[in-house]
Chains A and B, each alone.
Chain A
Amino acid sequence: NAGVMQNPRHLVRRRGQEARLRCSPMKGHSHVYWYRQLPEEGLKFMVYLQKENIIDESGMPKERFSAEFPKEGPSILRIQQVVRGDSAAYFCASSPGEETQYFGPGTRLLVL
């Protein structure tokens, strides 16, 4: 059973560009979570989605950030007009219900 997959693993963007991060949950998992890890900081919750629905986006900045989990295809975290402060590791996790979350390998975003 394949684990949570994320791509790309590394992403370099210049200030003002858009970043698109993709997450494919484990087979049979319908719950997807996005977390951000800044250097020297712990993992911080951003958004929780189920198929076609955003359940909780309380940790996601109101501007420039958006997330979706369509009926078909991976979940996508989109960051518009990136700034240097967006440089971080972004992790996706999935679960079959509201229990143990399994994490992907992460996408390391570097904004130049």
Chain B
Amino acid sequence: EDKVVQSPLSLVVHEGDTVTLNCSYEVTNFRSLLWYKQEKKAPTFLFMLTSSGIEKKSGRLSSILDKKELFSILNITATQTGDSAVYLCAVPIQGAQKLVFGQGTRLTINP
């Protein structure tokens, strides 16, 4: 069965800290991995990773994929209270017709 597992489930840090969120997967015919940020409402797209070892970066957020060890990490440096959200990892299966999501990591940034 295709599976996506995120850790930790919950993380509380202080503003300015750096955090690393983990996502491991077991899927057949892996093609890509996606990260989403969910604040109060809709998940919003952050990154799509398809190649191993190549870092994707957007401001203070960066992500990298390891296809050999079947995981990805999402790093956030110099965290701000606005980074507080649930971060979701997802892997498309069945030719990308279906996204399998992890259970999410709830990140809380305290001032």
Same complex: no
A-contacting residues of B (Cβ < 8 Å)? none
